[in-house]
A = this chain, B = another copy of it.
């Protein structure tokens, strides 16, 4: 276009450092208000949004005409002077001096996502564009902060990151929800459902360890809490008991929430999140046994019987009146994985713990103490009708320097849904994969 840019290129989030200066910002048109004599293009550049001001009387005619006819999501570079403006979003505005349009989206084929309401299927089909919207942008910025907070917490607490394999020969959480992959020459491998078995090996090598990557569950459930591909962080500690696991989980969750409150206030505001609810997330978390939880649920009218796992509704009932996460421990051994340590005082319950987020967001953490005795683990494997050969390496961890150990897993998407206050996990990841959704 005719006007060339002048002044150093800055990002909108850094505008405060350039008040009074003439700078250029490269971005896309988010919205445009206009009258005969003045235009207000709202520019987004990925780091933020800024209202810019173009005054007809102060601009070459061609420049004003260009600004006036900008279309949504056209790419452009605006040059002008930055001015502090209390009432403006972000606190700054630009007085436009010139504009360079890189690509003008034509009226004949306009940007498909308009300020009007769209159905969820349409938005999901256009997920590659929907990410540009204010709300989705805010959610994924919060997600980034959650990921940073998670990693910083473990890095700063002496844990070594040791990522576990995605291709696994055996199942950890049951064989019905495995995705099968054709490896070479008719070999079959499975996509990991959890890194935990491998974490136990690395905990014996590094003392404290964590893995953090995508995990996969071929669950045919179409609920607001399920994705087929989701990210999970899993710490594991040698020489640790269920009490150590609980304390770690509590400190960890509080640290992640505090970080988001500290760094992503603006994004939470965009999401209209009641931050008072998040500020309540401080230790100690209420603790109860599975026995007590079942009693409470039955009193509140749930049909649950001792021995069953909680349903989504049960989790909602237990947490809706809470202002912070709750920890439930000692679940029936029969409904837990084969490697879960039974309570020595009462072997029908296992030393496992779930953390349920408040406000009905349900389970975000599951973990506990693992069996470290070889004979006990072998007998549990048989009770679960699992083959011995694929687990032989796992048994080695009980043959050579066994110690009490434990850890947990936290699903990132559920955690982000809770922190952002979202109804459905599908908005917490850039390109969600669900039962009927593998595109774009």
Q: Measuring CB to CB, which residues of chain A are less than 8 angstroms from any residue of chain B?
A: 9, 11, 13, 26-29, 45-47, 73-75, 77, 102-103, 105, 109, 111, 126, 128-129, 131-132, 136-137, 140-141, 143-144, 147-148, 151, 155, 158, 160-169, 179-184, 187, 189, 191, 198, 201-209, 213-214, 216, 218, 220, 228-229, 231, 238-239, 393-394, 396-397, 399-404, 429-431, 433, 435, 438-440
Contact = CB atoms under 8 A, between A and B. Distances in A.
B46 A207 contact: yes
A202 B47 contact: no
Given A206-B137, A430-B164, A189 B438 contact: yes
A132 B191 contact: no
A162 B181 contact: no
B238 A46 contact: yes
A201 B128 contact: yes
A396 B399 CA distance: 57
Closest 8 CB pairs of A and B: A46-B207, A393-B440, A128-B201, A75-B401, A131-B205, A46-B206, A165-B431, A73-B401
B205 A137 contact: yes
Contacts of A28: 204, 401
B167 A438 contact: yes
Contacts of A144: 155, 160-162
Given A46-B238, A144-B160, 20 more contacts: A11-B158, A26-B238, A26-B403, A46-B203, A46-B207, A46-B209, A103-B403, A128-B198, A128-B201, A132-B204, A140-B160, A140-B162, A144-B161, A148-B161, A163-B214, A166-B433, A169-B438, A180-B182, A181-B181, A198-B431
Given A11-B158, A184-B435, A105 B399 contact: yes
Contacts of A228: 167, 183
A248 to B, nearest CB: 15
Contacts of A180: 181-182
A438 B160 contact: no
Nearest to A440: B393
B183 A438 contact: yes
B214 A166 contact: yes
A410 to B, nearest CB: 16
A37 B438 CA distance: 68
6 contacts: A26-B238, A28-B204, A132-B204, A179-B183, A184-B435, A198-B430
Contacts of A214: 163, 166, 213-214
